[in-house]
Amino acid sequence: MTLPEQPVFDEPWQAQALALAERLKQAGLFSPTEWAETLGAERARQAALGLPDTNTAYFEAVLVALEALTERHAGITAADRAGRRAAWERAFAHTPHGKPVLLGAGDHGSD
């Protein structure tokens, strides 16, 4: 077996995103078929828009597919995600360098 000359992942988050998808499939949140169909549909949407077929585009599609499937099966809405992201961004902006970034006890991600 020959290993690729370049790393498969450009950033650690890319490996984490695929690991999360795998774990959610194993937990039964969605099936492997539904994962493949959702990811494939997003890749087709990217192609229809004329976006380049790059590693970055692939992993962006992974994120969109994960978002769609968690909305469909876990009751997480786009508003929930946006609120949680804003909460993490606020926490990050107010955390001294070198310290762990933590959400406050009452921070549910909503403004």
* Confidence bin at 107 (pLDDT 50/70/90): low
Same domain for 21 and 57, yes or no, is: yes
CA distance 8 to 12: 10
What residue spans of the chain are helical by DSSP H?
12-26, 32-48, 55-74, 78-93
Is 7 inside any structural domain? no
Asked if residue 4 belongs to a domain, the reply is no
**In terms of domains, do 71 and 18 share one?**
yes
Q: For the chain, how are helix, strand and coil distributed in percent, rounded to 5?
A: 60, 0, 40
The answer to whether residue 2 sits within a structural domain is: no
> Residue 47, Cβ neighbours under 10 Å: how many?
12
Which pLDDT does position 3 carry in this prediction? 62
Q: pLDDT tens digit string along 43-102?
A: 999 999 999 999 999 999 999 999 999 999 998 899 998 999 899 999 999 999 999 999
Is 5 within a domain? no
Query: Which pLDDT score is estimated for 72?
Result: 93
Name the most confidently modeled range: 1-5, 40-44, 81-85: 40-44
Which range of residues forms the domain containing residue 68? 12-76
